[in-house]
Structure formats: C-alpha cells, structure tokens
Structure 1
Amino acid sequence: MIEQIWAPWRLQYIEAAGKSEQCIFCDFPAQGEAHDADNLIVHRSSHGFLILNAFPYSNGHLMVVPFRHTTSMEDYTDEELLDTMKLIRLSLRLLQIAYHPEGFNTGLNIGRVAGAGIANHLHWHIVPRWNGDTNFMTAVSGIRVIPERLENTYARLRQALPEALKLEKSEPGTS
C-alpha cells in the first residue's frame, strides 16, 4: 500500500496560479547590479543569473535563471542554452566549495502542474544534499528547517564565487 504525505504548504502555489502579471525573474535583474544583494542574485552571466531561492529546501538552494522570459525550452537559442548549462556547472562548483554537499538534486519544472512555483519563466533548481538531510517537518507541520539565514548563505556563496569562477576558466574545454 502506498502511504500519502500531505503538503498543505504547496496550496499557496496552486491558488496563486495566474493571479500575478509580474515576474520576479525579470524584475530583479532589471533593477541593476546595485540591488543584487537585496534580490539574492549571486552571479550574472551574459544570458542569465544565479539566485538564492527565498524558500529553500536546504542551505545553498540556488536557481539558474535565463534572462529571457519564456515558458518553453524551444524558445531559447543554442547560446542561451549553453550559458544556462555553464551556470548550472558553476552553481555546482560554487556549492561544493561553500558547503561540501554529498550530492545534488537539479531540476526544471515546466508548468504549474509539474511543480513550478513561478511557472511563467523557466528556471533550474540546484539543491545541495547531505546524507540524512531528509525530514518531514514541511509535510507534517508546514515548517521547513533551514539552519542558516539567507543573508549568511548569500555572503558565504559570494565569498566562494571567485574560486568557483577561477575553476571555470582553468579547466580544458571551458570558456
């Protein structure tokens, strides 16, 4: 028999479907680099950016977001897709340096029914994982236990960023 775990906290995403015309993934970078810390933007590239998830599953939960606003992978150019993959690789390196996780969950949820909280702008989740980090606090009590404040996570990742960028440039086949 399959057991069920209820996650009532997800209802806010379902009920909010289609209610907002604004897109934070467009608005935040448009505010300029002077606001990156306030908006939790860790790094910008030519076609996208790394941003901390404001509602993380674990410390260091990053999102890779192309600048172009679209709901379809088919809309991106090869250059945009390559830049996105490089940002994903950079985020993995950055999290390895800053947090030393034992693994990662990476993913793209296309559409609200697939789990996308912000369904109108494609973005990839990079979630660092450690042995034994699974807990049911979110499903059982609507609480997520994150031991580090977002401001501290942001500072930690920004401190590790130069080393991660240096590794990006030093490996064969990278540019």
Structure 2
Amino acid sequence: MTGAEEHIDEGLADSLDRLYTPHRMTYISGEDRPEGGYEKPASCPFCLAPGRTAEESLVVARGEHVFVVLNLYPYNPGHLLVCPYRHVADYTDLVGPETAELASFTQTAMRVIRKVSSAHGFNLGMNQGGVAGAGIAAHLHQHVVPRWGGDANFMPVIGRTKVLPQLLGDTRDLFVRAWPS
C-alpha cells in the first residue's frame, strides 16, 4: 500500500479541497441530450433556439442568416456560438450570404466580448463532425471563446472543473446591451 492508500483506509483527509458543481451532471450524464442524440437530433437545439424566448434560449443577437447564442456549457465565461438559422452541418454547404454574415457576426462577437469583459484573446473554431469534437454535429456553429492571461489554471487541468464567475443569463444581458443595433 502507498501512503495515500493507508490514509484513505484510515479515514484521514487527503488535504484536497472539493468544489461541487452538481449542475454539470446533466451535461456529463447526457440527461439533456436531444432525442436521437447529438449526431441526428430529433429536435435540434440550434433550430429551436431562435423560436424560444431570449431568456430560455440565451440568444444574444439575430441577423438575417445567423444568430448568436451563449454556449450552455461554456469553456470560459462569455463563450458564444454563431449559428446559421438553416440546419446545415458542413461549412462548405453554407451559401455566400450565410458565410459572410457568419464571419461578420463572429467579428462583432469579438468586439462585444472585448468591450464587456476585456478579453486578451480568443479561440475561434468549428468542429466539423462528431469525430472532430462537435457536440451537435448536425448543425454548424462557430465557437467564439474569450481568453485571458492565466485563465487555464489548475481547476480544469487537475480538477477537471471549470469555474464560471457569472450566471449565463447575466452574461447574456451584458452582451445584449453591448451588441450594436
């Protein structure tokens, strides 16, 4: 037995702090996955979001071809998704106006995030297909993830936990007020 195993067997504390985040279990367990799963959802959350109330959907801005929504499971505070209204899976399937507006809204999202939270940088990207990491592969979405110096601390690396200092609804309200008309 190692020293650590002896302490556990004896019921002694291991000197680690615990941060409980039970709200994450719905994501981990898949309880909130759409019917049919993420690859072929019976009801696509990105198709449903624009028709729901702003508070229910977390939509920040709407354009003619795309909309911007807060990520329900953000990598960092203010993690936005730019989604076409049209249910399309692959970037190459977008038509010219959709591509242009997606790019424009991504730029605006970056400006708004900088204005609201002084982000130092961004990760931008699309995961094309489930094997590439797309949680909802059937509906294209561009990630706009704000980054700050030192934001990759021990919590996600060692604790596999992300600490978010603000509720999603509060973040959405800040972005809506800052989004240009």
TM-score by length of 1: 0.78
Superposed structure 1 runs of 4+ greater than 3 Å apart: 9-13, 16-20, 138-142
Match of 2:50 among 9, 24, 29: 29
Match of 2:117 among 99, 106, 109: 99
**Residues 135 and 93 of structure 1, relative CA distance in 2, 3 Å threshold:** same
Match of 1:41 among 29, 52, 59: 59
Deviates more, 1:72-81 or 1:101-110: 72-81
Tell me by how many angstroms 1:139 deviates: 5.1
Greater relative contact order, per chain length (Cα 8 Å cut-off, separation 6+)? 1
The amino acid across from 2:42 in the alignment is E
Q: Deviations over 1:74-126 (max 9, x none)?
A: 22111110011011011011101111111000000000110111111000000
Match of 1:46, SS state, is coil
CA distance in 1, matches of 2:40, 2:98: 28
2:151 matches 1:130: no
Unaligned runs of 5+ in 2: 1-26
Tell me by how many angstroms 1:66 deviates: 0.6
Tell me by how many angstroms 1:28 deviates: 1.2
For 1:3-14, list aligned pairs within 5 A: none
Percent identical among aligned pairs is 37
**Residues 56 and 70 of structure 1, relative CA distance in 2, 3 Å threshold:** same
TM-score by length of 2: 0.75
RMSD, matched Cα? 2.1
Unaligned runs of 5+ in 1: 1-8, 166-175
2:135 matches 1:114: no
Aligned residues: 150
